[in-house]
Amino acid sequence: MELGPMLRDVALFSQLSERQLSGLVETAVVRRHPRGTQVFSAGEDADCFLLVAQGALKVYLLSGDGREHILHIAEAGDLVAEGAVFAQGTYPASAMAIEDSVVVHFYRDRLVALLRAEPELALALLAGLSQRLRQFVATIEDLSLRDVTARLARYLLENSKGGFCRLTGTKTQLAAQLGTVLEPLSRSFRRLKEDGLICEHKGGIALLDEKGLRALVDGF
Amino acid sequence: MELGPMLRDVALFSQLSERQLSGLVETAVVRRHPRGTQVFSAGEDADCFLLVAQGALKVYLLSGDGREHILHIAEAGDLVAEGAVFAQGTYPASAMAIEDSVVVHFYRDRLVALLRAEPELALALLAGLSQRLRQFVATIEDLSLRDVTARLARYLLENSKGGFCRLTGTKTQLAAQLGTVLEPLSRSFRRLKEDGLICEHKGGIALLDEKGLRALVDGF
DNA sequence: CGTTGCGTTGATCTCTATCAAAAAAGGTGG
DNA sequence: CCACCTTTTTTGATAGAGATCAACGCAACG
């Protein structure tokens, strides 16, 4: 697998010079992670950030009694743990391959060195972290201030294109992303269907009444 | 109020040259915010980040039916909205002065210009955002995977020095930080006291059994 | 002293997790 | 194409955590 050209396609790296890119590639490690493999675990020293080249990872939290909350799913082209790497410390979450995946590991020190020379890269990273921060704030808002049905409505609106939302993983997985479990989520789906707000097709959800969904999200 | 010297005391700005500092100060706006005043509101264009010079702000989310979740309290020397400013867009949360406060407003454009010239500043900001990201992940973990008592235990451990945790605001405020309301929080306090884990003094909480508290946080 | 805001306690109600079972949906191999 | 198996999803019944409502105690303060 050619690493250099692939990195070109990642928005974050698109403006780097050949030399800078190869500087990154030099210490990068490419690893295959079969489905179900642990990529890193919460509590480990956070010395790398990752680029998903193929497949998909889930980044998740685990409770003492085994419940799981999925922070986000990273697919091909997405970065993982870009945030954790800057304040030295440990990964606050774990990551596991949910498909057979290829992952590029970049070492912190190399990145930091590159950042000193390349302010544009730093700005791009700041923008990326800023985005992630927004996403987390939205999640906190969901968990603290909205019920499961409203969270589902928000998810559908957020992840739809042209009135249709493709569901990638299983509903169990979606439940873990919304901070709940399968059964309550299933009931929320039913409520939205009964109220005529959505319609379920195989492979996704059609949003019939986006205004109605938005009203739900905002609390009537 | 002399702005220059004050900024020197902020970790983020401590390594800037005089010229860079005055470049920031030039476009900065100092504003007084009496207690109870709105500093910015969720949804407004995020063109500034703030430094609290005196007093304290609460940064919070509001639900449709008026419930409030406090993301964090920013006191003198703390930055606010440093994250929101890099991905152009709107503030995801609101901020209000909870004491008579003095706040310095910095404009995004000026900061971005400075970042291009000063990679160390960018690195410091990245570290700061990284820290904030960690905090938010911890909050998500709390809300999704821990009950109120465990959240309280974590808060006490996190904010204690030498086995003692000062409570700054009211308990109503603390409840809003932990994603609950006063009554359940009060019961959680009682449980911790009954189990001999803490002891309440006026002005703060003594942690009698940190190991026991940690066990609670980790889910027994 | 009364007022006002804050905290505690008790009683109820709502939402969600859990448990259990059945129904769909997908694959596999014949 | 079908029988069979696994996985996922739906539905029902129950239980538990926490929000809400109401009443009361308590302190600060005019």
pLDDT digits (tens, 9 = 90+) for A87-118: 889 999 999 999 999 999 999 988 888 888 88
Q: Which residue has the higher pLDDT, B8 or A100?
A: A100
* Candidate from A65, A87, A122 with C-beta closest to B115: A122
The answer, yes or no, to whether residue B4 has pLDDT greater than 70, is no
Q: Using the C1' atom of nucleotide C25, identify the protein residue whose alpha carbon is closest.
A: A202
**Cα separation of A83 and B87, whole Å?**
15
Closest-CA distance, A1 to chain B, in angstroms, reads 31
Q: Where are the alpha helices (DSSP H) in A165-217?
A: 171-177, 182-194, 210-217
Structure tokens at B107: 């404009």
Query: What is the rounded average pLDDT for all residues in chain A?
Result: 91
Contact B56, B75 (CB under 8 A): yes
Closest residue of chain A to B134, computed from CA coordinates:
A92
DSSP letter at B17 equals -
Hey, is B120 helix, strand or coil? helix
Neighbours of B190 (CB within 10 A): 12
Would you put residue B27 in left (φ > 0), alpha (ψ -120 to 50) or beta? alpha
Structure tokens at B180: 């609950």
DSSP letter at B45 equals B
Q: Where are the alpha helices (DSSP H) in B39-181?
A: 108-117, 119-145, 148-158, 171-177
Q: Residue A37: which residues within 8 A CB-CB, separation 6 or more?
A: A96, A97, A101
Q: Which residue has the higher pLDDT, B201 or B186?
A: B186
* pLDDT tens per residue, range B73-107: 999 999 999 988 888 899 999 999 999 999 999 99
Whether CB of B187 is under 7 Å from strand C: the answer is yes
pLDDT at B81: 95
Chain A within 8 Å of B92 (Cβ-Cβ)? yes
Closest-CA distance, B1 to chain A, in angstroms, reads 31
CA geometry: angle at B74 spanning B78 and B16, to 5°?
10
pLDDT at A3: 67
pLDDT at A5: 67
CA geometry: angle at B147 spanning B146 and B150, to 5°?
75
Chain A within 8 Å of B154 (Cβ-Cβ)? no
pLDDT confidence bin for B66, thresholds 50/70/90 = confident
Chain A within 8 Å of B116 (Cβ-Cβ)? yes
* Candidate from B116, B123, B129 with C-beta closest to A129: B129
Is B140–A71 a contact, with Cβ atoms under 8 angstroms apart? Answer: yes
The answer, yes or no, to whether residue A25 has pLDDT greater than 70, is yes
pLDDT at A156: 98
Contact B87, B47 (CB under 8 A): no
Look at A63-67, A110-114, B13-17, B26-30 and tell me which has the smallest mean pLDDT: B13-17
Please report residues contacting nucleic strand D, using a CB cutoff of 7 A.
A 170-172, 182-183, 185-187, 189-190, 200; B 65, 67, 147-149, 179-181, 183-184
Chain B within 8 Å of A113 (Cβ-Cβ)? no
* Candidate from B93, B127, B137 with C-beta closest to A92: B137
DSSP letter at A17 equals -
Q: What is the mean pLDDT of residues A169-191?
A: 97
**Cα separation of B214 and A64, whole Å?**
12
User: B95 to chain A: which residues are within 8 Å by CB?
Assistant: none
- The residues with which B70 forms a beta bridge, in sequence order, are B60
Residue A58 phi/psi, 5° resolution?
-105, 135
Percent of chain B whose pLDDT exceeds 90: 72
**Cα separation of A103 and A118, whole Å?**
24
* pLDDT tens per residue, range A139-168: 999 999 999 999 999 999 999 999 999 999
User: A220 to chain B: which residues are within 8 Å by CB?
Assistant: 64
Look at A171-185, B109-123, B160-174 and tell me which has the smallest mean pLDDT: B109-123
Look at B8-17, B189-198, B207-216 and tell me which has the smallest mean pLDDT: B8-17
The answer, yes or no, to whether residue B1 has pLDDT greater than 60, is no
Query: What is the rounded average pLDDT for all residues in chain B?
Result: 91
**Cα separation of A7 and A33, whole Å?**
19
The answer, yes or no, to whether residue B167 has pLDDT greater than 80, is yes
